[in-house]
Structure 1
């Protein structure tokens, strides 16, 4: 008879059969809901205080800027220290930063510059500690379930994207920004409780002997020398730069092209998140049916077409349906790319691969959304986004033609990468 915790029967939910994974996943969901509550509250506060969209965008940019520079450092630190303790340390720091905002809000001393500084610091902490969290999740499931683990982690982020803004709207209406910030502060304790219930597997003590910068160089060298990882990181950059800006440009599309407002923007964001959560439930079945590499190839090809159809949507209703499927396709593709980076290396290098993936994703997205937004003001949003979708489709088809083996069944490289030792250089 199966044990009591083996509830999931759907293939995509198999990681939930591991109690440690489910506890951490649930704690992360609670924290993510709190983070979205804070994001909405701060966005409303900054916009109402300054009356400038530029100021709101600058606050968001400050929270993402550290990822471009600090991601490799975060990955090396996560592979150097005990991941559970390191992730807990990051949660404590983020709770402290959220607490500062909460106290200032209740005392009526909150200012836009203070929000900017704390957003930047929070981005630094998140960048430095998130690789440990992601690698810890990977440790809690067998290697063959890593893709499912990554997909479910993406699903909890998108579920937080759905629930957080909804709760924020209620709290802001009832009590104002201070109470939304207070809820976010409390949410980090859910992560600490979850981490306290986890017993991570024993780690190689030799990995702690590797100097920090040597660890960073080693991760970059492994990624550079492995052809599959290099290709996956390149694909991640082009997805982020050419397709992913559909996320950040939702308000522009809803207001300028569809003639709608804030309600339409919220609807499109919610539909994207709902599509991602739905895809997470089926991605395991699809991976078993096609194989991870073939599924990634199909997802890369179809996302360009879905992106183009979304940008051509003539009405809000059509756009909502399109972004639901686009959000689902995006989750399948990005979770597969992320899992591939980690699945090619042994566990002591997984956080470094995850950090390189985050760095490439952040850099590509920041560049893409800024350039596409700037060009849209000059030549039109639909023209720019349809052009970038076509460019991405051309890149995928060219790669399929020149390197067809990269779209067949894959194997992992874990046995081929030797762990660090005193003689390694």
Structure 2
């Protein structure tokens, strides 16, 4: 009798978990759809804007400054946003930042349609957008974690990763199409509309989420300091910065390589910009396998070798077919490395997820911003092709270092609860 009662209780508990998972899933899918539409617009804009700056300025330094300056200032706003999220919840900051980004997208479109072509104005609008996006990024990550249950979190992360990669393919392709039809102003206007769509999606997701899944206003426990989190995640943070500096940043020279070095059109660049995401989509499931075997740092070292080789190869490539192949391989390797590094950062305790997301953003931003300025200045002197080749060689040297020190690095720095192990 007791055994039967226990089985009935277990069945009821399982059914309850299934119902909660389905409820979380409904809110998550609304959120997922809004995020996808927003990311398509964002990727279209972020692909076209560097192409516009290259065409107007004919300078690699201006092109990389468009990335570096907003990123540097967002490093100030990201930890502030993370602290606000952990103390007061994600909703207010998220909706406020998305509204400002929509206004900035409309302002960019209006400026271009009015005949404005000043690179400084474009840089100013991008800088304000970078600061606002930096503050709102932790809120976005916190809302995602609040809308899904622990039972389905891994599957939700997989679907969110897939959404990011699909939008990474669709965004530049949509941007290239809009360039043909309406020019840069049409792309900027799409960016503004996409933020309005994601505001609608987030509001609907929060409204239909069960009470237990609704974002909380205040943290339920003590919030660790940013310095303490950085100490626990020290190895991951350093590697994220290295990959951003020597792999992500050099790829920002792609419009310079295509337009100034190879003499191809910006529409060709817009189409090629979506190619790395094809490789990252293929790498998605493999990335999660690597995450599950996270202790094997040798795997990451080998992947760093592959990433370094493709960065250098892209610089050496002088024909579109080779560029396509290498960009797919780059997307494949970078997606797995990124999954292996950032997943452990996201395993911190719920009360620190906002700051953990901010730390990831800071690590990427430091590497991307500082290296972008250096690579841009070097590309104006040596050309984008030679500069990307040099970056690949530097990353290869880093991969050798991690192979030689793999045993020391294999010691875990953070456990599943965000504490030293």
Whether TM-score is above 0.5 comes out as: yes
The residue correspondences of 1:59-70 to structure 2 (distance < 5 A) are: 59-70=66-77
Distance in 2, matches of 1:42 and 1:390, equals 30
Question: How far is 1:404 from its partner?
Answer: 3.5
| Cα deviation 1:80-111 (Å, max 9, x = unaligned) | 22213321221111112222233444444574
Q: Does 1:163 align with 2:170?
A: yes
| Residues 105 and 250 of structure 1: CA distance in aligned 2, closer, same or farther (over 3 Å) | closer
Question: How far is 1:26 from its partner?
Answer: 2.0
| Cα deviation 1:337-381 (Å, max 9, x = unaligned) | 2221120x2112101011011101111122233334545645943
What is the number of residues matched between the two proteins? 392
Q: Does 1:22 align with 2:29?
A: yes
Distance in 1, matches of 2:230 and 2:406, equals 21
Distance in 2, matches of 1:118 and 1:370, equals 19
Deviates more, 1:129-138 or 1:199-208: 199-208
Question: How far is 1:143 from its partner?
Answer: 4.5
Q: Does 1:321 align with 2:325?
A: yes
Distance in 2, matches of 1:234 and 1:126, equals 22
1:332 to 329, 333, 336: 336
Q: Which residue of structure 2 aligns with residue 303 of structure 1?
A: 304
Deviates more, 1:18-27 or 1:301-310: 301-310
Q: Which residue of structure 1 aligns with residue 244 of structure 2?
A: 240
1:396 to 367, 382, 402: 402
Q: Which residue of structure 2 aligns with residue 368 of structure 1?
A: 371
Question: How far is 1:260 from its partner?
Answer: 6.2
Question: How far is 1:264 from its partner?
Answer: 6.0
1:140 to 128, 147, 168: 147
The residue correspondences of 1:103-252 to structure 2 (distance < 5 A) are: 103-108=110-115, 111-143=118-150, 149-150=156-157, 152-199=159-206, 201=213, 207=219, 218-224=225-231, 226=232, 229-251=233-255
The residue correspondences of 1:5-84 to structure 2 (distance < 5 A) are: 18-84=25-91
Please, which runs of 5 or more residues in structure 2 have no aligned partner? 1-13
Deviates more, 1:190-199 or 1:366-375: 366-375
Question: How far is 1:391 from its partner?
Answer: 1.6
Q: Which residue of structure 2 aligns with residue 381 of structure 1?
A: 387
Deviates more, 1:331-340 or 1:111-120: 111-120
Distance in 2, matches of 1:51 and 1:222, equals 42
Is the 1:258–1:316 Cα contact (8 Å) retained in structure 2?
Answer: no
Is the 2:81–2:134 Cα contact (8 Å) retained in structure 1?
Answer: yes
SS at match of 2:148: coil
| Residues 152 and 187 of structure 1: CA distance in aligned 2, closer, same or farther (over 3 Å) | same
1:86 to 44, 68, 93: 93
Q: Which residue of structure 1 aligns with residue 294 of structure 2?
A: 293
Q: Which residue of structure 1 aligns with residue 11 of structure 2?
A: none
Is the 1:311–1:382 Cα contact (8 Å) retained in structure 2?
Answer: yes
| Residues 104 and 16 of structure 1: CA distance in aligned 2, closer, same or farther (over 3 Å) | farther
| Cα deviation 1:146-196 (Å, max 9, x = unaligned) | 565455445434433322232223323323333322222211122112112
SS at match of 1:141: coil
Distance in 2, matches of 1:90 and 1:60, equals 19
Please report the RMSD computed on the Cα atoms of aligned residues, expressed in angstroms.
3.7
Q: Which residue of structure 2 aligns with residue 423 of structure 1?
A: none
Deviates more, 1:50-59 or 1:236-245: 50-59
Q: Which residue of structure 2 aligns with residue 11 of structure 1?
A: none
Question: How far is 1:27 from its partner?
Answer: 1.1
Q: Which residue of structure 2 aligns with residue 274 of structure 1?
A: 278
Provide TM-score, normalisation by structure 1.
0.78
The residue correspondences of 1:336-355 to structure 2 (distance < 5 A) are: 336-343=340-347, 345-355=348-358
Distance in 1, matches of 2:327 and 2:56, equals 31
Provide TM-score, normalisation by structure 2.
0.79
Is the 1:272–1:323 Cα contact (8 Å) retained in structure 2?
Answer: yes
| Residues 324 and 152 of structure 1: CA distance in aligned 2, closer, same or farther (over 3 Å) | farther
Deviates more, 1:186-195 or 1:320-329: 320-329
Please, which runs of 5 or more residues in structure 1 have no aligned partner? 7-13, 418-425
